[in-house]
Amino acid sequence: MKLKSVKYIASVARLQDIRFRRLPEIAVAGRSNVGKSSLINRLVGNRRLAQISSTPGKTRTLNFYSINDTFYLVDLPGYGYAKVSQQERRAWRQLIESYLTQSRLLIGMILIIDSRHGITDLDREMIGWLKELGLPTLLIATKIDKLSRSQASVAIRTLEAEAAQMGIAAVIAFSAKTGQGKDYIWQAMLELLRASVSASESSG
């Protein structure tokens, strides 16, 4: 994909606050501090687009970014961060649940896994939920540059085997530092968009 424009659109804490022009949406999800903002910034070539913090749990809203005025990347709050109140964790979960179940323009998910730690129980819960919702899911193994070549090879093979058991066909190894995997992620997103257009034409 040739990147022509990238724009921050809005941050919303309630679905009813979405009052802007709607486009197809690809959401980015993952545990807190897994590298969602770094992935988004590397994909679009702007280190400051998505806010990066050393403090996990910084993203507390649905953050919408317009890509080429064609679709939105939607950065979801990270899950699994313990150092906030139970009430706040419930609020985040409710926001994510309502978005995933109610957004009619959501065409797919990018689910980020830390390649050093593999798929956690919380990740398995999310993958199972996405499968129930019928949402196509791209599994991205981030921070791959922090592993040696042999460690990375073992980590990816392990992730691919477990992902296959859960119905996910491929795992993309990614590094925000080097850009490894960036082109594969763009290609996968383009395929999601093409599939969405084909489905709309067929139903229309």
Could you give all domains of the chain from N- to C-terminal order, each with its CATH number?
Answer: 6-197 (3.40.50.300)
The Cα–Cα gap between 102 and 121 comes to 25
Q: Are 49 and 171 in contact (CB under 8 A)?
A: no
Q: Are 44 and 67 in contact (CB under 8 A)?
A: yes
pLDDT at 196: 85
The Cα–Cα gap between 52 and 39 comes to 10
The Cα–Cα gap between 132 and 96 comes to 15
Q: In this structure, what DSSP letter does residue 76 have?
A: P
- State how beta strands 25-30 and 106-114 pair: parallel
Q: Average pLDDT for consecutive 10-residue bins of the chain (204 residues)?
A: 87 86 92 86 82 50 92 88 62 84 93 94 91 93 96 95 91 95 95 84 63
Q: Are 174 and 142 in contact (CB under 8 A)?
A: yes
130-to-21, 85, 108, 192 alpha-carbon distances in Å: 25, 26, 9, 15
Please give the model's pTM, rounded to 2 decimal places: 0.88
pLDDT at 32: 80
